[in-house]
Amino acid sequence: MTVPWDTPARQSSTRCAYVELAARSSFSFLRGASPPAALVRQARDLEYDAVAVTDCDGLYGIVRAHEAAIQQGVRLIVGCELTVGTEPPFRSLVVLVENREGYSNLCKILTESHSRHPKGQARTPEEDLPRNTYAGIPASRVCGHAGGLWALVPPIPAPPPLELAEWAEAFGERISLTVHRHFDGADVARDVRRNASLGQGHQAARCDAEHAAVALG
């Protein structure tokens, strides 16, 4: 049976200038809504060249996303949104796989992260995390397995400058600070405050097709 969306990717005379580098699927319970295949189909409909599926603390949606990407002719970027830290405030770090080394390192990071927080031991209110976050790893352990990975640092909560410097040393040119445009008139002011608090020596993440960290493509 063939359904309308099971068709080759639309051929367009112009490339979409945007690539989504941090998309959670419904496998990120209470934090993502769309199934992985739906994310890929939407990327196809929007004429994206690629899309990154980055579920929270796992590669749960990657297999279904990969199957859909083959059908839709969209390049899939394998990634994950990691819970980083050993005590509050915990932070997030999005990592994207560049090559086989990166995939291996990400699997090692996730294995250790989950081994530190066995399932069945719910998070406490003081930790300010979803109760089902059975993961969490020190930043130093992520930095020790940075090979083959690109890193995106979310603006909230902002990492301490010393931790950001540690990440920058580990990932080098493969790390970016993410910038979210809210179009509420305060974007410039937020960028100024962020740069003042984190320093000027880091690039902002560019979600355009020419600068996307494309992996396994």
Instruction: Please report, for the chain, the start and end positions of each structural domain, with discontinuous segments joined by +.
Output: 20-198
Output the pLDDT for position 216: 32
φ/ψ bin of 209: left (φ > 0), alpha (ψ from -120 to 50), beta (otherwise): alpha
Average pLDDT over residues 62-90: 92
Q: Which of 177, 212, 201 is nearest to 49 (CA)?
A: 212
Average pLDDT over residues 89-105: 93
Output the pLDDT for position 214: 36
DSSP codes of every residue in 172-200: GGGEEE------SS-HHHHHHHHHHHH-S
Output the pLDDT for position 213: 38
Higher pLDDT, 100 or 3: 100
Average pLDDT over residues 200-215: 44
Cβ neighbours, 10 Å, residue 11: 7
Question: What whole-number distance in Å separates Cα of residue 195 and Cα of residue 200?
Answer: 6
Q: Would you place residue 8 in the very low, low, confident or very high pLDDT band (cuts 50, 70, 90)?
A: very low
Those residues with Cβ within 8 angstroms of residue 203's Cβ, 6 or more apart along the chain or in another chain: 176, 177
Average pLDDT, the chain: 81
Burial 125-140 (b: 16+ CB within 10 A, else e): eebebeeebbbbbebe
Query: Do the Cβ atoms of 109 and 145 come closer than 8 Å?
Result: yes
Average pLDDT over residues 35-51: 94
Q: Would you place residue 180 in the very low, low, confident or very high pLDDT band (cuts 50, 70, 90)?
A: confident
- Res. 5: pLDDT tops 70: no
Topology (CATH level 3) of domain 20-198: TIM Barrel (3.20.20)
